[in-house]
Amino acid sequence: MNFIKCLSTYATGTRSFSTTSCLHEIRKLARMRVVDNSALGKAARLSGKPARVIHVYNKTSVGTVGDKVLVAIKGQKKRAYIVGVKQNQKPNMPKFDTNNIVLIEDNGSPTGTRITVPVPSALRKKGEFSKILSLATRFV
Amino acid sequence: MKIELCSYSGLKIYPGHGKRVVLKDGKVFNFLNSKCCASHFMKRNPREIRWTVLYRRKYKKGNLETVAKKRNRKTVKHERGIAGATLQDILAKRNQTPEVRAAQREQAIRAQKEKLKVQAKKGATDKGAAGKKKAPAGKAAKGGKTSKPVAKNVQKAAPRVGGKR
C-alpha cells in the first residue's frame, strides 16, 4: 500500500497532484532475490549486493513470471528466470512478497539443485520450465 | 478446480475470484477479495471482525455447532485383576462377612503376640549390639502381662486383612 501523501493546498500553499501507486515492475537495475541453493546466489545475498537485472528478454522490457532476464551477480553476468513477482497479478497467478529468480547456465539447465520457496504452478504451461520445476519443493 | 477458503474471512473462493499472496517466509494466503486482503495487511485480527467465520466461531454464533457438542460420553468401569491378585481373589476379599474378618484379625493378633513373646525371650538372653531392638520388645513383653490393652498396641503391627480401602 504505497501512497504519496497529497499535501493540501490550504496547509502549505502548494498544489497537490495524484500519482499511481508503485507498480513493482521488473525493469533494468531491479534488485532480485535468488531463490535456488546455488553458491553464487547465497554469496550475493550474504554480501548485501543482490542480483540486479541488466536486461529483460521481452518485447516490452518489463519482466514478469516466466521471463528470462540477464542479471549481474558478484561481478558476473548470468541468465535467470523470474519465478515470482511483487507486482499485482492477474487471477490464477499468485503474488509474492519478493521478486524471485532462479539462476540458469547458458545451456538452460539451472545452477542450483533445489528451490525451497513456493513456485507458481502456472509455470508448467508457460514455457519449458520442466528442469526448474523439477527442483521445486512447493507449488502455489 | 478446487474451491479454496479465504484465509481471512473463511468464506469460499470459487475459481476465477480472489487473490493469492505468498509471503517472504513461504506462507500462502488466499483472499476472497480486496476487502479481505486489505484487512489482513492492515493487521486487523479476523477474530474481531464480525462478518468473518473466525469471529462467528469464537463467539459461537449459529446453531449447528451447539447440537454437535451436547453428546456426552460415559466412561465404562471395568473390574480387573492386578499382578498380585486375580479378580476372583479381590472379589472374595471384598465379599467377606464381618465375622470372618473379625476372626482373621484375632488370628493375626494372636500370631503377632506369640512372635513378640519369642522376641522378648531372645532379647533377654542376647547381649550388646541388639540393644535398640530389645527396648520395644521389652516393653511389649511387659505389656503382654495385661491382656486387652496389649491387643490394641499389637494391632498396629498386625498385617492388614481385608481392611479399610
- Beta-carbon separation of A95 and B19 below 8 A: yes
Lowest mean pLDDT among A23-27, A64-68, B58-62, B130-134: B130-134
pLDDT of res. B57: 93
Residue B112 has what pLDDT? 92
What pLDDT does B37 receive? 95
- The domains of chain A, with CATH numbers, are 22-135 (2.40.150.20)
CB contact under 8 A, A94 and B17: no
A75-95 per-position pLDDT tens digit: 999 999 999 999 999 888 999
Task: Determine what percent of chain A is predicted with pLDDT higher than 70.
Answer: 91
How high is the pLDDT of residue B146? 47
Chain A residue whose CA is closest to B16 = A91
The closest CB to that of B22, out of A91, A92, A97, belongs to A97
The helix (H) or strand (E) run that includes residue A133 is helix A130-135
Query: What would the mean pLDDT of B125-139 be, rounded to a whole number?
Result: 53
User: Chain A partners of B30 at a C-beta cutoff of 8 Å?
Assistant: none
What mean pLDDT, rounded, does chain A reach?
Answer: 90
A46 — contact with chain B (CB < 8 Å)? no
pLDDT the model gives residue A21 = 87
Output DSSP code: residue A19: -
Confidence of residue B87 (pLDDT cuts 50, 70, 90): confident
Q: Please name the member of A91, A92, A117 whose beta carbon is closest to the beta carbon of B26.
A: A117
- Give the mean model confidence (pLDDT) for residues B110-121: 90
Give me the pLDDT at residue B83, please: 81
Over residues A22-58, the pLDDT tens digits come to 999 999 999 999 999 999 999 999 999 999 999 999 9
- The pLDDT of B87-99, averaged and rounded, is 83
Nearest CA in chain B to A87: B21
A84: β partners: A100
> Distance between CA atoms of A130 and A140, rounded to whole angstroms?
16
pLDDT band (50, 70, 90) for residue A1: very low
- B37 to chain A, any CB pair closer than 8 A? The answer is no
A31 or B158, higher pLDDT: A31
Sign of the Cα pseudo-torsion (B130, B133, B135, B139, in order):
negative
The answer to whether B28 touches B20, Cβ cutoff 8 Å, is yes
How distant is the Cα of B19 from the closest Cα of chain A, in angstroms?
A: 7
pLDDT at site B84: 78
Exposure on the CB side of residue B85, measured as CA atoms within 13 A: 11
Strands (E), A3-114: 31-34, 51-56, 68-73, 76-84, 95-96, 100-104
Whether B18 has its CB under 8 Å from any CB of chain A: the answer is: yes
pLDDT digits (tens, 9 = 90+) for A83-133: 999 999 988 899 999 999 999 999 999 999 999 999 999 999 988 899 999
